[in-house]
């Protein structure tokens, strides 16, 4: 898949709420797995397999909303950083990895835009999701993530 094709596919998935992030990852050719083997301080990983494809791992101990963000974050590493991740990287609870802070912030920002594209936020609002709580539920993200996205303090 070329970079343009990847971006077109991502754009398509950003048209429907909630964004189907697992289906997107699979269409990008990523395997999506979860593991019980980590403690809560690990969020996820993206690992290059022997066949050259990548597997995204999430922490089975984290709630689904959290795992959705992790998958979006690892998808971001694949789309933006796959030439920099070598055999793979592991993200801790604060999404820090061997890639370093700038690339990690870039991945977080890409993940937020993937799960909460402004067109969908506006669409959900027009359809009656008129609070942080309702918007978060409509897009299947945490209330904290939604409030940060909107620049509105929560609690």
Q: List residues near Zn ion by CB under 5 A.
A: 91, 95, 97, 104, 107
- Residue closer to Zn ion (CB basis): 107 or 120: 107
Omega cis (within 30) before 18: yes
Whether 139 and 17 have beta carbons less than 8 Å apart is answered as: yes
Half-sphere exposure for 36 (CA within 13 Å, toward CB):
0
Nearer residue to Zn ion within complex by CB, 54 or 95: 95
* Nearest to Zn ion of 59, 97 (CB atom): 97
Q: Cβ 58 to Zn ion, closest distance in Å?
A: 12
Residue nearest Zn ion, Cβ-based: 91
Q: Which long-range contacts (CB under 8 A, 24 or more apart) does 147-152 make?
A: 148/112, 149/112, 149/116, 149/121, 150/121
101 vs 130 by CB, closer to Zn ion: 101
Minimum distance from residue 89 beta carbon to Zn ion (Å) = 6
What is the smallest separation between the CB atom of 15 and Zn ion, expressed in angstroms?
26
Report yes or no: 145 and 21 within 8 Å, Cβ to Cβ: no
Q: What's the maximum distance between 2 C-alpha atoms anywhere in the chain?
A: 47
> How near is the Cβ of 33 to Zn ion at its closest, in Å?
17
Query: Measured between alpha carbons, how far is 40 from 20 in angstroms, rounded to an integer?
Result: 24
Residue number with CB closer to Zn ion (26 or 96)? 96
Smallest distance, Å, CB 43 to Zn ion?
8
């Amino acid at each position: 898949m070329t970079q343009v094709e990847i971006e077109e596919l991502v754009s398509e998935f950003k048209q429907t709420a909630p964004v189907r992030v697992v289906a997107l990852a699979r269409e990008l050719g990523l395997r999506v797995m979860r593991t019980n083997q980590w403690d809560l301080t690990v969020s996820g990983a993206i690992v290059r397999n022997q066949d050259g494809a990548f597997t995204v791992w999430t922490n089975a101990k984290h709630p689904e909303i959290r795992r959705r963000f992790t998958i979006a974050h690892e998808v971001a590493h694949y789309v933006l950083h796959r030439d920099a991740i070598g055999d793979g990287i592991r993200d801790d609870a604060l999404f820090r990895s061997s890639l370093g802070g700038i690339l990690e912030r870039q991945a977080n920002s890409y993940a937020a835009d993937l799960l909460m594209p402004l067109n969908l936020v506006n669409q959900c609002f027009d359809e009656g999701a008129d609070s942080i709580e309702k918007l978060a539920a409509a897009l299947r993200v945490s209330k904290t993530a939604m409030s940060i996205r909107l620049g509105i303090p929560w609690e």
